[in-house]
Structure 1
């Protein structure tokens, strides 16, 4: 594994250097003749735990609805491409993201296990209630099982059995497979007698203040939960994250108290590119409280500490927010969308909205989740305040779509099964809908960036995958590649053409510049009846072997 010190992660492509494109139309990007960085060292010791961040919801919502839209309208700074990417336009492993399904095959067991490292707490009862679930809202408790392991127990909202518990399980496993850090979660079943009360059990209110929690209050809260046919209560058990929890990361800028946090969050590819994945999953509940930083000890050296960054709380995904909130607009419009309101007034109700007529299927455990009205380019989270999504460009969303499309239908089905939906029809429906939205996501973004990937240089040819053909969004018979070669100084060396190939894997002849290390840029332009797009592939001779290797990719 090629690793790098943290500072290298601040530039585009990690190894990029300025070059002169001249008047040829060749981008100025140039790359070091070195292997691409695959891991960033952002695990340097942070000896003292940073202070937890507090999210003031009123201020947050004011920013979302009023301040940030005005600020963005007045900004003169041009858009910036994402940082935190390597020379091959990929995201290296870090405390934020670990390449999984986007970089290798995952077995069914790996997918269904996900981040889990211990047995379910259902096998270790009774559970001792330490406190209520922090904050107001749904019923939940912080408990310790018979082993002493700490969990947050949450239940489905009354009238919506299985929806949030199943959805959280499914989406958490998918996000883990995509590469994000998530909690260890379990579907569990319990009876009231499985819960015992700690002598100092407390209620934690929305302000963080504690009050005594007694058995009568526990029973009152449990009485609001709809029981299973056998009388047990179904719940989600989320293992408490190790270390000291510090609240969510700021949507913009960095944590000043974390020396490893060097890339402004609105410029991180792994956060910006999550837009495509969240849209696929209809994960609309996107605000700082649904992310969590933790100050953790290094597994190899417990004396070293650093921050690890998690995604949490996915139970409102897959259309559950729309059903429990009685709002079919979710995913189609912001909760308070001043722009949409203005358009609605001007159109006087004459134009049908995309969410009109939407309804959840009559299946236990399934929210208002469908693919017919899904538009991958117009999907919206609940609030327009998460800066990485607002800054995301088509290259970021293409990256996310590449990860999403990697899941086969069989893998999606296996992941849906982890939600333990009791109706087999619900399992099939959610699987079919996820696959339909997955394909819509990839088709959309593969038509907005030249979808060539997995470049490999050989002695006489350069090969690549055309993802649009590989996933059957385009036909090889109507695809043509125009290839123009340039030297480092952007002088044209030659041109040739190639046709699309069945399966999407295509090769073009490769001749390097005879001088120096052979630094050569290939402008590969893809032509289809409804698409034209270019990618510059930078190739040079490996100083050790003398063989050609791909050292950089620059998408246009």
Structure 2
């Protein structure tokens, strides 16, 4: 079996075994922590002519071109119509291991969800030291512009720096100065530290004299027309950019490694990637990404703002096999309150799709008399650069992106809770650091952004960590089962609100060692349960914190031949489940 197909087989096995109460739903081994889709594979070779070599041989997947408008039309119109007649039950995500987590893969790498990160790591994001730009000491004419920026909402150009590589420079808008570049840096740092692959994003301040324009450049605008990128076009970009003294402020995005293959899709699979065996809409990280997008108001989380890259084993030959496809999130510049040219649309973002059939039907039935949340929105005086990005009207489980996203639409309660458990690791101090990374010229904007980020995050945690169990970091320490309550750790409730309880049962559901086990509350959300020695080979330990409606069930193999308990699996049943 190759790659994540193992998940499908395991899921079927667990379902079959779980139907019989005398069997064990989890095997006596550690769960899958790393997906095999990171292993290199071979793909067929083909002739792919280039400007330099008409007989060029490529042994990598073919590039996918995503039309700018098609994805929106397809997901807003054709997909909803097709689903009316489709039999497509939305079950739980497939790529989840025995600990109810997502293994490291070509899509996602566990970072803040599994280990603490430093302030430096948070700020650095995906930027390795070699990718950091020295905008203070660069000499005149050392930043060579070799390409105009093709299409997109933000004007810009590409800079090629010897020894560092290529960077796409993008300017802020005059209507919302500093917000797009801040959103790019903050958003990319958040996505990276959560676990997604992103580009290295930086805010740079440079003198125009540092730029050197390569003659004869052309670029393609949003209408698909090729135009000259000359000194006049460059000056037009620099004129709209924010400034600090004699320096231009822009966002610099480092070029991704490998052979770029175009965007990934939020449904289906890449047919030319042997590692891609799970439908994308059934991947928990893509489903749970809806909650992350809601926090940052990343309404533009769509196909065009992603990228697949073929990472060949031979770094000198990016078109060669073997290799594997890595999947990136791109362009978070629309986060934190981006606005459209039409105020009516800007207000609706996050509350309603651009073409929202449900809202259209509701307005038809109510004759438009219902007051919508976006009608109550107001920009915060003095902080207009953030548009309608706020807290009061934010409802996490009702948030919508620009138009339906197939993965977001299939998000389950468990997918959302998984992402919320990761986001709970962002402390108030870390949120403050994120706001400072925007490098706003007005300190009031930094303070406002920190308040909104914290307020929206608290709403997300309140919604998703008080239903299914918020207990995480479960582990066996000697004769004790220990864990961390993320609601308590994040300080969402006073310590007196928690009443921890635990009991042990056999595989058949019979209580063992009395109704309750001794629980030691260590404070700050940490606790341990004493595990008694029992003759049972396989036991369940049910944990509750007295606050969340759901509980956690730990599956353990009992002590054998002097060895302690083995934690084999974790379940978070829906509230009210038997």
Which whole-Å CA distance do the structure 1 matches of 2:81 and 2:551 have between them?
35
- Shift in Å, 1:338: 2.1
Give the corresponding residue for 1:308: 326
Q: Quick one: structure 1 residues 209 and 460, their matched pair in 2 at CA, closer, same or farther if it must change by over 3 Å?
A: same
Give the counterpart of 2:115 among 104, 127, 139. Answer: 104
Which whole-Å CA distance do the structure 2 matches of 1:426 and 1:16 have between them?
51
Q: Quick one: structure 1 residues 235 and 497, their matched pair in 2 at CA, closer, same or farther if it must change by over 3 Å?
A: same
- Are the aligned partners of 1:250 and 1:265 in contact in 2 as well (CA < 8 Å)? yes
Superposition TM-score, scaled by structure 1 size? 0.89
Give the corresponding residue for 2:75: 64
Q: Quick one: structure 1 residues 158 and 527, their matched pair in 2 at CA, closer, same or farther if it must change by over 3 Å?
A: same
- Are the aligned partners of 1:18 and 1:29 in contact in 2 as well (CA < 8 Å)? no
- Shift in Å, 1:387: 1.3
The 10-residue stretch of structure 1 (8-17 or 375-384) with the greater mean CA deviation from structure 2: 8-17
Q: Is residue 2:295 matched to residue 1:280? A: yes
Q: Quick one: structure 1 residues 405 and 148, their matched pair in 2 at CA, closer, same or farther if it must change by over 3 Å?
A: closer
Which whole-Å CA distance do the structure 2 matches of 1:197 and 1:298 have between them?
34
Give the counterpart of 2:210 among 173, 183, 194. Answer: 194
Which residues in structure 2 correspond to 1:505-544 (within 5 Å)?
505-511=526-532, 514-515=535-536, 518-524=537-543, 527-528=546-547, 532-541=549-558
Structure 2: gaps of 5 or more residues: 43-58, 574-578
Give the corresponding residue for 1:90: 101
Which whole-Å CA distance do the structure 1 matches of 2:167 and 2:372 have between them?
42
Q: Is residue 2:377 matched to residue 1:358? A: yes
Give the corresponding residue for 2:133: 120
Give the counterpart of 2:438 among 419, 438, 445. Answer: 419
- Shift in Å, 1:377: 0.9
Q: Is residue 2:191 matched to residue 1:175? A: yes
Which whole-Å CA distance do the structure 1 matches of 2:127 and 2:100 have between them?
30
CA RMSD of aligned residues (A): 3.0
Which whole-Å CA distance do the structure 2 matches of 1:379 and 1:56 have between them?
26
Give the corresponding residue for 2:159: 143
Secondary structure of the residue aligned to 2:189 is helix
- Shift in Å, 1:78: 2.7
Give the counterpart of 2:455 among 431, 436, 439. Answer: 436
Give the corresponding residue for 1:394: 413
- Are the aligned partners of 1:101 and 1:178 in contact in 2 as well (CA < 8 Å)? yes
- Are the aligned partners of 2:216 and 2:228 in contact in 1 as well (CA < 8 Å)? yes
- Shift in Å, 1:532: 2.9
Which whole-Å CA distance do the structure 2 matches of 1:456 and 1:45 have between them?
32
Secondary structure of the residue aligned to 2:325 is strand
After superposition, the C-alpha distances for 1:369-421 in whole angstroms (9 at most, x for unaligned) are 2111111111111111x211111101010011111111112112222222211
Q: Quick one: structure 1 residues 209 and 12, their matched pair in 2 at CA, closer, same or farther if it must change by over 3 Å?
A: farther
Q: Is residue 2:361 matched to residue 1:346? A: no
- Shift in Å, 1:6: 4.7
Secondary structure of the residue aligned to 1:355 is helix
Give the corresponding residue for 2:306: 291
Which whole-Å CA distance do the structure 2 matches of 1:215 and 1:312 have between them?
28
- Shift in Å, 1:276: 1.3
Which whole-Å CA distance do the structure 2 matches of 1:121 and 1:432 have between them?
31
Which whole-Å CA distance do the structure 2 matches of 1:183 and 1:418 have between them?
16
Which whole-Å CA distance do the structure 2 matches of 1:524 and 1:507 have between them?
10
Give the corresponding residue for 2:567: 550
- Shift in Å, 1:525: 5.0
Give the corresponding residue for 2:235: 219
Which whole-Å CA distance do the structure 1 matches of 2:554 and 2:515 have between them?
15
Q: Quick one: structure 1 residues 153 and 547, their matched pair in 2 at CA, closer, same or farther if it must change by over 3 Å?
A: same
Q: Quick one: structure 1 residues 300 and 6, their matched pair in 2 at CA, closer, same or farther if it must change by over 3 Å?
A: farther
- Are the aligned partners of 1:13 and 1:87 in contact in 2 as well (CA < 8 Å)? no
Give the counterpart of 2:39 among 41, 44, 49. Answer: 44
- Are the aligned partners of 1:95 and 1:307 in contact in 2 as well (CA < 8 Å)? yes
Which whole-Å CA distance do the structure 2 matches of 1:258 and 1:469 have between them?
43
Which whole-Å CA distance do the structure 1 matches of 2:561 and 2:218 have between them?
64
- Are the aligned partners of 2:178 and 2:242 in contact in 1 as well (CA < 8 Å)? no
After superposition, the C-alpha distances for 1:154-185 in whole angstroms (9 at most, x for unaligned) are 00112221010111111111111111111111
Which whole-Å CA distance do the structure 1 matches of 2:529 and 2:242 have between them?
62
Give the counterpart of 1:449 among 468, 475, 481. Answer: 468
Structure 1: gaps of 5 or more residues: none
- Are the aligned partners of 1:84 and 1:268 in contact in 2 as well (CA < 8 Å)? yes
Which whole-Å CA distance do the structure 1 matches of 2:83 and 2:544 have between them?
34
Q: Is residue 2:429 matched to residue 1:410? A: yes
Which whole-Å CA distance do the structure 1 matches of 2:201 and 2:12 have between them?
35
Which whole-Å CA distance do the structure 2 matches of 1:382 and 1:290 have between them?
12
Which whole-Å CA distance do the structure 2 matches of 1:317 and 1:19 have between them?
45
Give the corresponding residue for 2:336: 318
Q: Quick one: structure 1 residues 389 and 202, their matched pair in 2 at CA, closer, same or farther if it must change by over 3 Å?
A: same
The alignment covers a number of residue pairs equal to: 544
After superposition, the C-alpha distances for 1:290-334 in whole angstroms (9 at most, x for unaligned) are 111111234999874211111001011111236886611111111
- Shift in Å, 1:17: 6.7
Which whole-Å CA distance do the structure 1 matches of 2:526 and 2:297 have between them?
32
Q: Is residue 2:385 matched to residue 1:377? A: no
